[in-house]
Amino acid sequence: MKEISVLFLDDEQNVLNSISRMFADEAYGVTVAVTPEQAMDILSREKIKVVLSDQRMPGITGIEFLNQVKTKYPDIVRILFTAYADLDATEAAINISEVYRFINKPWHPQELKTSVVGAIHFYDMVMENRRLFEETKTRNEELSEANSKLKEFSSTLSHELRTPLASIKTALDIVLSGNAGKVGEEQRNFLSKAKSNVDRLGRLINNILDLAQMESGKSTLNKEKQDINKVIRSVVETQETVARAKKIYLTMSLDPRIPEFFFDGDKIIQVLNNFINNAIKFTSEGGITVSSHTDIGKLQAEIRISDTGCGISDEDVCKLFEKFRQLGEAHQRHEGTGLGLAIAKEIIRQHDGKVGVTSHKGKGSCFYFIIPIVPLKGQAYDSQ
């Protein structure tokens, strides 16, 4: 038995008889009603997709009936029949009843069938889109909840690990200092390796906690109006000693046209230290240049850290800012948490900026970030 999908309402029985014969061989089921009351009763019992109503009926117009259908069954597709070229009725059908379309009497059988099939397909498409939307919404909610629980777990785990690690580190420091008794050279080597790994684990835990807080939205920026070139100078001056120890240069090329603007100085220092530390780590000859630049009119500052180091392969460049990514052999020889660049990327994202890198294997790399030069909401911007 065919599932009834279409309902025709007309106060003329002979018209309904004609419609019943016309649609008898269609794949979908059709039913008819001679009064609005009968039609509403059918709608309450059957899963109707399309309702077609005559405009001129005793006691009620088709527009009024379809408006009732819209109120009670808003998903049903509504079509209006009319034998009169009535502009007002057409406007009302569109504005009040929100009909899918209207068809003039007398209709052409094939045109009517085509309209009905189109209306059924429209209904099915709307229902499928709604199903997919709800399915996606549910899935996103599940993923969001799972992600939230994972971040909460990471944060809790990081906090719980800090206390025993601090105790271990303190104990190792006491033993290595000789306060707990004399330490032989072989024991000192083993203890130093243990302390090194404890320190590395501590950095990893801190980075996991920082990243979890930033990604969960619990970490907020402390933006103040300041000179980014001054911030860069302070970081470079601190890192110069490390560069000199490796017999490489660390220079600056700063654009004086960059005005003071709002940013979180501590967070930007964290990003600069990460980029410069990495550049020093992977550069054995030549050196590093830290530069700043702005294009007048673009209201953005671009900071670049260029080095003459070992460079990065094309296959590794795309992995750089992902969490816990292990790169090629040259980079694996240097211990790291695998989170520094991911944290830097998140910091710049929170500044509404972006990070990037260009590199050629054996010819050095250039890490950069771009942040907008804009005032905070409610605060005036003085470019002088």
Range of the domain at 173: 151-215
* Same domain (yes/no): 235, 200: no
Residue 277: C-alpha distances to residues 136, 242, 354 (Å): 42, 9, 20
In a domain, 20, yes or no: yes
* Same domain (yes/no): 276, 316: yes
Which of 215, 247, 270 is the endpoint of a domain? 215
Cα–Cα distance for residue pair 334/332, rounded to 1 Å: 5
Cα–Cα distance for residue pair 196/71, rounded to 1 Å: 71
* Same domain (yes/no): 246, 201: no
Angular region, 352: left φ>0, alpha ψ -120 to 50, beta rest: left
The amino acid sitting at 192 is S
Cα–Cα distance for residue pair 22/107, rounded to 1 Å: 12
Residue 334 CA, chain-centre distance (Å), reads: 32
In a domain, 193, yes or no: yes
* Same domain (yes/no): 306, 357: yes
Residue 123 contacts residue 76 (beta carbons within 8 Å): yes
In a domain, 138, yes or no: no
Cα–Cα distance for residue pair 24/27, rounded to 1 Å: 9
H/E stretch holding 288 reads strand 287-294
CATH of the domain at 228: 3.30.565.10
Indicate whether this model's pTM tops 0.85.
no
Using DSSP's 3-state secondary structure scheme, residue 37 falls into: helix
Which of 215, 242, 261 is the endpoint of a domain? 215
- Cα torsion angle, 74, 123, 44, 111, sign: positive
Using DSSP's 3-state secondary structure scheme, residue 60 falls into: strand
Angular region, 78: left φ>0, alpha ψ -120 to 50, beta rest: beta
Which of 107, 133, 168 is the endpoint of a domain? 107
* Same domain (yes/no): 86, 205: no
Angle at 148 between CA 147 and CA 154, to 5 degrees: 90
* Same domain (yes/no): 244, 364: yes
* Same domain (yes/no): 334, 259: yes
* Same domain (yes/no): 346, 206: no
Residue 55 contacts residue 80 (beta carbons within 8 Å): yes
In a domain, 128, yes or no: no
In a domain, 353, yes or no: yes
CATH of the domain at 69: 3.40.50.2300
The amino acid sitting at 195 is K
* Same domain (yes/no): 325, 233: yes
DSSP one-letter string for 125-182:
HHHHHHHHHHHHHHHHHHHHHHHHHHHHHHHHHHHHHHHHHHHHHHHHHHHHHTTTS-
* Same domain (yes/no): 38, 94: yes
Residue 210 CA, chain-centre distance (Å), reads: 20
* Same domain (yes/no): 167, 67: no
In a domain, 162, yes or no: yes
Residue 101 contacts residue 115 (beta carbons within 8 Å): yes
Placement of tokens 């034998």 in the chain: 83
Q: How many separate domains does the chain show? A: 3
Angle at 312 between CA 310 and CA 315, to 5 degrees: 155
Does a cis peptide bond (omega within 30 degrees of 0) precede residue 164?
Answer: no
**pLDDT tens per residue, the chain (384 residues)?**
688 999 999 998 998 999 999 999 888 999 999 999 999 999 999 999 999 998 888 888 888 899 899 999 999 999 988 765 555 666 666 666 678 887 877 888 888 999 999 999 999 999 999 999 989 888 888 887 877 776 666 666 666 777 777 778 788 888 888 777 888 888 888 888 888 777 777 777 676 677 766 666 666 788 999 999 999 999 999 999 999 999 999 999 999 999 999 999 989 998 999 999 999 999 999 999 999 999 867 789 999 999 999 888 887 887 787 765 555 444 444 455 567 888 899 899 989 999 999 998 888 999 999 999 875 554 444 444
* Same domain (yes/no): 174, 265: no
Placement of tokens 């994202």 in the chain: 349
In a domain, 344, yes or no: yes
Using DSSP's 3-state secondary structure scheme, residue 280 falls into: helix
In a domain, 380, yes or no: no
